[in-house]
Amino acid sequence: MKDSNCIFCKIANGKIPSTTLYEDEDFRVILDLGPAARGHALLLPKEHFADLFELDEKTASKAMVTAKRMAARMKAALGADGFNLVQNNGEAAGQTVFHFHMHLIPRYKDDHAGISWKPGNTTPEEMAEVKRLVENQ
Ligand code: AMP
Ligand code: ZN
């Protein structure tokens, strides 16, 4: 299904032009217009899924295989020193476009992408509680 109000549906299906690095029947990989680092790309399914929770498992599997192949090609082609796969779900997690996408981000020594978090604290009690909640879901 496509969503006629969704910009990534339009880009993925070629209705809006993009700089496309790869395309097959299920996905399009495009360059991000606001790159965190040189070569930052987005993997977009051609069907509309708002986020990871809507994605079917077959498309999820194919997305990871495609991302893995693209990461290898991009790292070699661009001489990257490392690579981040990033995937945001929900406003609280930084998602701004509500069509599932994976960020493919080549990383370079001394780049300024700054994809990191400040390590927090936990306790054995909290860890046990989290384990219990997830296992019982
Ligand atoms: P997220 O915050 O995970 O939802 O990521 C949305 C990403 O889409 C951001 O990195 C934006 O720079 C990128 N973006 C938004 N609109 C476009 C567009 N028309 N073409 C390419 N990238 C886009
Ligand atoms: Zn869409």
Residue, of 114 and 29, whose pLDDT is higher: 29
Q: Is 41 exposed, middle or buried (0-12, 13-18, 19+ CB in 10 A)?
A: buried
Q: Over range 33-57, report the average pLDDT.
A: 98
Cα separation, 119 vs 37, whole angstroms:
23
The span from the first CA to the last CA of the chain, in angstroms, equals: 29
86 Cβ inside 6 Å of ligand 1: no
Q: Which pLDDT belongs to residue 1?
A: 76
34 Cβ inside 6 Å of ligand 1: yes
Quick check: is 112 catalytic? no
Q: Which atom of ligand 1 is nearest to the CA of 32?
A: 22
| pTM exceeding 0.75 | yes
Residue, of 2 and 51, whose pLDDT is higher: 51
Q: Nearest Cα to 17, choosing from 3, 37, 31? A: 31
Q: Is 25 exposed, middle or buried (0-12, 13-18, 19+ CB in 10 A)?
A: exposed
Task: Please identify every residue whose CB atom is under 5 Å from ligand 2, which is an ion.
Answer: 3, 6, 8-9, 48, 99
- Average per-residue pLDDT for the chain: 97
Tens-place pLDDT, residues 92-120: 999 999 999 999 999 999 999 998 899 99
